[in-house]
Amino acid sequence: MALWLVFALMTAAAIFAVLWPLSRCGRVRGGTEVAVYRDQLDEIARDRKTGLIGNAEAEAARIEVSRRLIAAATTDEAEQPVAGQGSLWRKRATAVAGLMLVPAAAVALYLALGSPNLPGEPLGARLDQVHSAGSIAAMISQVEAHLERNPNDARGYEVLAPIYLRVGRFDDSVAAWRKVIALAGDTAARESDLGEALTAAGNGVVTDDAKAAFDKAAKLDPADPKAQFYRGMAAEQDGNKEKAVAIWNDMLKAAPAGAPWIDNVKAAIVRIGGTPPQVATSAPPPAAAAPGPNAAQVAAASQMSEQDRGAMIRGMVARLADKLKTDGNDVEGWQRLLRAYVVLGERDKAQAAAGDARRALAGDPDKLRQIEDMIRSLGLQG
C-alpha cells in the first residue's frame, strides 16, 4: 500500500508540473505590434531632434509607422476575443488530457513492463540467493575488504587461508598462513596448514620450506596427522620409501579407532609397495552405501582363481563408477573408487576419476577438500 501511495504522489507531482505553466497564462493579450510601432515613433522623434535624420525623412518615416500602427491596433481589437476563446479551450483540453492520460499511460506501462503480480520476498531470502550464486567468491571479497581495513586481524587471515587453498590460489594461501603465524603465533595445526599450502604451490612436491613447516608442526604435536603424513610423502619423494612406510606405519599404530585418514594412509603405503598394519578403520558403511568391494567381499575373492577374482573386483568397481555418474555427491564413493583404481594399477582411470570427482564436488568445499587430500595421498595430482 505504501508503494502505491508513493506512485500516486509521483503521478500527481508530474501532472502538477505540466499544468502549472498553463494555469499561469491568462487571457491572450494583444498589442504586441502596437507597442513596437509606438517605440519606433519615439525613436524617430529622438533621431530628428538630435539631427541624425532630416525633417523630410523623419516625416516620411513617421507617416509610414503611423499607418502601420493604426492597422495593427485595428487588427488587435478584431481578433483578441477570438484568440482568447481558442486559447482557453486549448488550455482546458490540455488539462483534461493531463489529468486523464498521464495516469492511464503510467498504469499501462507498468502493467506491460513491470511485475505487479510478483510476490514480495524477504531481504534474507534475497541475500541467500546472492550468496548461493557466488558464495565462495563473494565471501573471499568480503573478507579481503575486511582485512584491508583491519590488516592485523589474525582470525580473518585464518578464515581466508584454507579457502584460498580450496579455490587454487596457493600462493595467497601461503601468504595468509604466514600472516596468521606472525600475528597469532605457532601451533601444530597452523604449521601443518602452511606446509600443505606450500606443497600445493609446489605442484604436489614437498619443498624444503614445506618440510620445515611439517617438521615444526611434528615437534609441536607429534600426533598431528597432517604433518606426519606429509613427512612420509617427503621421504617418498626423496627416494626413501622405507622411511615413508615407517612414518606411515607409526601413524596407523597410534591412530585412534575410526580416524578418517586411516584409509588414505593405508592406500599410500600400498601404493609404494608396503604392507600396512591391521588397525581399526572407520565405521562400516551403511547398507545404502555405494556399491564396491568391501573387506568381506575381498576375503571371499581370495578363494577364487586369479582371473575370477579380478573379474569380480573390476565388476564391482565398474558398478561403483556407474553409480557415481548419477550420484556425484558421494565423497566416500569417490575415495573408494580412486583407491580401487590405484590398487588395480589403472592410474589413467584413477586420474580421470579424480577429475570427475573434482567437477562433481566443486560446489561443496568440505567434500572437495577431502577428495583433494585423497588425490594427493595417492599421487594423482599430475
Give the span between the Cα atoms of 255 and 264, in whole angstroms.
12
Q: What pLDDT, on the 0 to 100 scale, is given for residue 125?
A: 52
Taking Cα atoms as reference points, which of 299, 363, 361, 294 lies closest to residue 334?
A: 361
Q: What pLDDT, on the 0 to 100 scale, is given for residue 30?
A: 47
pTM: 0.42
Q: What pLDDT, on the 0 to 100 scale, is given for residue 115?
A: 57
Instruction: Please say if the pLDDT value at position 373 is more than 50.
Output: yes
Q: What pLDDT, on the 0 to 100 scale, is given for residue 209?
A: 93
Give the span between the Cα atoms of 12 and 222, in whole angstroms.
78
- To the question of domain 288-382 being in CATH 1.25.40, the answer is yes
DSSP string, 84-96: HHHHHHHHHHHHH
Question: Could you tell me the pLDDT band of residue 133, with boundaries at 50, 70 and 90?
Answer: very low
Confirm if 223 and 258 have CB atoms less than 8 A apart: no
Mean pLDDT of 122-150: 68
Instruction: Please say if the pLDDT value at position 287 is more than 70.
Output: no
Q: What pLDDT, on the 0 to 100 scale, is given for residue 291?
A: 43
Count CA atoms within 13 Å of residue 36 on its CB side: 7
Buried b (16+ CB within 10 A) or exposed e, 252-287: beebeeebebbbbbbbbbebbebebeebebeeeeee
Instruction: Please say if the pLDDT value at position 191 is more than 90.
Output: yes
Q: What pLDDT, on the 0 to 100 scale, is given for residue 286?
A: 41
Diameter of the chain measured on Cα atoms: 143
Question: Could you tell me the pLDDT band of residue 130, with boundaries at 50, 70 and 90?
Answer: very low
Mean pLDDT of 130-148: 73
57-71, 113-127, 352-366: which has the highest mean pLDDT?
A: 352-366
Identify the three-state secondary structure at position 341: helix
Instruction: Report domain extents, the chain.
Output: 2-113, 288-382
